[in-house]
Amino acid sequence: MLDIQLLRTDLANVAGLLAKRGHTFPIAEFNTLEAKRKLLQTRTQELQARRNDTSRRIGNAKGRGEDIAPILAEITNLGDELKQVEVQLELTQTALRQILLRTPNLPHDSVPEGNSEADNREVRRWGTPRTFNFAMRDHVSIGESLGLLDFQTAAKLSGARFSLMKGQLARLHRALSQFMLDTHTGEHGYTEAYVPYLANAESLVGTGQLPKFKEDLFETRRPGFKMTERLLPNEDSQRGSLSGESLFEHDYLYLIPTAEVPLTNTVRDQIIASELLPIRLTAHTPCFRSEAGSYGRDTRGMIRQHQFEKVELVQIVHPQRSYDTLEELTGHAENILQKLELPYRVMALCTADMGFSAAKTYDIEVWLPAQNAYREISSCSNCEAFQARRMQARFRNEKGKPELLHTLNGSGLAVGRTLVAILENFQNTDGSVSIPKVLQQYMAGLDRLTMQDKK
RNA sequence: GGAGAGAUGGCCGAGUGGUCGAAGGCGCUCCCCUGCUAAGGGAGUAUAGGCUCAAAAAGCUUAUCGAGGGUUCGAAUCCCUCUCUCUCCGCCA
């Protein structure tokens, strides 16, 4: 969420920055609502002040045993008007809030301007893509012919965009996440966390997935929730809530699309002591994405799944440190690829290609031989105070005053895509796949995946 | 699933309709006292927002006692709904 003060004082400039990332800010609507808000809020507070004053006087008069009827007469219609104005104010503020909640972050000065992913800027490259002197295959072909990867059965169980792994491949998948966690906790100073995989709406609003990207999420309904009963008219007096939040939102939970959601929200509604900063958290979780709107893209293989695993990195830091931290965090993710000996490049995303909450993002793209391309395997973002403002996540600054934190997150890495990269980059002419050295200790010393016994 | 008890400021804890953003204590900050330490004395110490203002400072003001709604001139206090925590029983990985 952007600072509403900034919108009030510098709207044209803000709208210009948002336009760079393809977002059209509703300037006229905002100005109208804001003018209305100011009027209504002033009036509401006037009436509230009068009510408070009158009530105080009634209290005093009663204490002295005086007649309160004349004082009561002064405010005969005050209650009704106050109620009306309060309702209007609440509606106006809800409308403003809805605009704010759906407005993306402002891009940092250093973010390249662009209209599409083609305008992303390559920052650096590591490793050299291997050349094959045999008929190189993609991960689906490799995994299936080894008898370790089975999309047909996965489709029977759940549908498209799910996968089933078995045997040493399933183990390699597990080994990857263990290796990543061990590296981040052992070498990069992160604290491992085990987190809920179902999160409430408030958490998803905090990190920015809601309200705008609801269709990307898998939504679950809590057992015992009875929509028909609850929506019967005249059921209770809560109807007509003015808060703008759904009355029933606590009856829904969402499967997390990334561990960024639970990890970042750990500091929601908190004022952190500055000596506890920076907070570095990592977690290995499944991630669930509906992939609405990506029909037909990456339909083959494990690249784009409804369910995949990821080791996530989250840092919660002092605002002055957040851009240094972004470089460090990106380096932590790169370190995994280097240890795995997988070639990659780092891209600075352009204004048009960044995610909703990010002020600046580096994508790390791993080399996939079968696609003859670098593909995203990690996305590292500095959200500055954007999420912190939504979450009311603050720390006590040098003056002892609460100030919004900066939040960062990045994949370290997407496990499924890393597995794909290993299968393709480490394939051998006989159909086996070599296991990167750093993973062998997690595989009881096994150094290659081979044809399963077919008996 | 059954029965019960709770939720108040950084922490503990008082407060069952009025002048309460909230006693008291602890903690913390500053000052005084003390050779040092300890003890003692005094002052201060929530958050968000609005208006005035070019801005800062300041002033005025509103909201917040788990959340939302209601009753009332007035709600931490009364009523309703929900959430969460705890205890006992049952069930369960």
Taking the C1' atom of every nucleotide in all shown strands and the CA of A392, the nearest one is B48
Copy the structure tokens of residue A114: 């662009």
Q: How confident is the model at residue A452, as a pLDDT?
A: 66
pLDDT value at residue A455: 42
| Residue A226, pLDDT score | 43
Which spans in A127-272 are helix H?
139-145, 151-157, 167-186, 201-207, 227-230, 260-264
ipTM, interface predicted TM-score of the complex: 0.86
What is the 8-class DSSP label of residue A330?
Answer: H
The pLDDT value given to residue A175: 98
The pair of structure tokens assigned to A108 is 């940092």
Task: Specify which residue's alpha carbon is closest to the C1' of nucleotide B68.
Answer: A238
Q: Are A428 and A448 within 8 A, CB to CB?
A: yes
Q: pTM for the complete prediction?
A: 0.92
Q: Is the CB of A31 under 7 A from strand B?
A: no
A5 touches A50 (CB < 8 A): no
Report the pLDDT value the prediction gives residue A69, as an integer from 0 to 100.
Answer: 85
Can you tell me whether residue A401 is helix, strand or coil?
Answer: coil
Please give the pLDDT value at position A273: 84
- Residue A201 is encoded by which pair of tokens? 């709406």
Which helix (H) or strand (E) element contains residue A77?
none
Q: Which residue do the tokens 């990456």 mark? A: A298
**Strand nucleotide closest to residue A235 (CA to C1'):** B81
Question: Nucleotides of chain B within 7 Å of a protein C-beta?
Answer: 1, 10, 18-19, 46-51, 61-63, 68-70, 73-74, 80-83
Q: Nearest nucleotide (C1') to the CA of residue A78?
A: B73
Residue A299: CB less than 7 A from any atom in strand B: no
Question: With contact defined as beta carbons under 8 Å apart, do A259 and A410 qualify?
Answer: no
pLDDT for A318 equals 93
Q: What is the pLDDT of residue A453?
A: 53
Task: Give me the pLDDT at residue A70, please.
Answer: 84
| Main-chain dihedrals φ then ψ at residue A67, nearest 5 degrees | -75, 130
Q: What is the CA radius of gyration of chain A?
A: 27
Kindly determine whether the C-beta of residue A242 is less than 7 Å away from any atom of nucleic acid strand B. yes
State residue A315 phi and psi, 5-degree precision: -125, 140
In degrees, rounded to 5, the angle at the alpha carbon of residue A99 between the alpha carbons of residues A246 and A92 is 70
Taking the stretch 379-408 of protein chain A, residues with Cβ within 7 Å of any atom in nucleic acid chain B are: 394, 401-402
- How confident is chain A (455 residues) per 10-residue block, as mean pLDDT? 92 94 95 93 92 89 83 84 90 92 95 96 97 96 96 95 96 97 98 93 92 92 52 32 44 91 92 88 96 88 96 96 97 98 98 97 98 97 95 86 93 97 97 97 96 59
